[in-house]
């Protein structure tokens, strides 16, 4: 059985295994939905962070909110992809973590979200910490204990 008593999440910095910002696909507030859908489709991700021109985190955008924004009263309105901007439909109420937070904070975010954006003290996104990284760290701990 996995003994987590020596795996103290409160002592491991969230920055240790995060994906650095330069490797994180993102879109900007003013981008049309068409651009966001292109980014999501080409990268294969369901959701990516939304940043302003200074790199500050503003929210996330997902394929599902874009599709929802295209639904008119009777049919799908493709024009919405060009008429609406990312800032019109993005989700803003997204919990984040800070560069000096530990994995314990990220764990709580990852219960309901597939990634946590890591922000510096000016709210700039320095990276993301994903469920995959959390599970990899737990797996490594598990196999270390068995060996």
- The Cβ of residue 16 has, within 10 Å, a number of other Cβ atoms equal to 11
Q: Which of 67, 88, 132, 145 is close enough to bind ligand 4BW by CB under 6 A?
A: 132
Q: Which of 48, 51, 61, 86 is close enough to bind ligand 4BW by CB under 6 A?
A: 48
Structural element, H or E, at residue 115: strand 115-119
Q: Which of 47, 50, 65, 86 is close enough to bind ligand 4BW by CB under 6 A?
A: 47
Output the smallest distance, CB 34 to ligand 4BW, in A.
18
Range in contact with ligand 4BW (rule: CB under 6 A) among 8-16, 51-59, 128-136, 138-146? 128-136
DSSP label at 81? H
**Contact call for residue 64 and ligand 4BW (CB under 6 A):** no
Confirm if 140 and 17 have CB atoms less than 8 A apart: no
Output the smallest distance, CB 73 to ligand 4BW, in A.
30
State the binding string over 1-40 for ligand 4BW (x if CB under 6 A, else -). Answer: ------------------x---xxx---------------
Measured between alpha carbons, how far is 5 from 17 in angstroms, rounded to an integer? 20
Residue 58, CB-side half-sphere exposure with 13 Å CA sphere? 17
Q: Which of residues 83-112 bind ligand 4BW (CB under 6 A)?
A: none
Confirm if 134 and 141 have CB atoms less than 8 A apart: no
Confirm if 11 and 141 have CB atoms less than 8 A apart: no
Which residues of this protein are in contact with ligand 4BW, per CB under 6 A? 19, 23-25, 43-48, 114-115, 128, 130-132
């Amino acid at each position: 059985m996995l003994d987590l008593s020596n795996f103290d999440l409160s002592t491991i910095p969230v920055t240790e295994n995060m994906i650095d910002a330069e490797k994180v696909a993102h879109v900007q507030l003013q981008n049309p939905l068409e651009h966001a859908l292109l980014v999501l489709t080409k990268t294969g991700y369901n959701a990516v962070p939304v940043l302003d021109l200074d790199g500050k985190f503003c929210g996330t955008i997902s394929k599902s909110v874009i599709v929802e924004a295209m639904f008119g009263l009777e049919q799908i309105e493709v024009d919405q992809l060009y008429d609406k901007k990312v800032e019109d439909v993005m989700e803003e109420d997204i919990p984040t973590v800070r560069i000096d937070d530990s994995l314990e904070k990220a764990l709580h975010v990852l219960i309901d979200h597939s990634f946590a954006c890591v922000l510096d003290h000016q709210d700039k996104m320095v990276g993301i910490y994903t469920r995959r990284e959390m599970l990899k760290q737990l797996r490594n701990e598990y196999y270390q204990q068995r060996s």
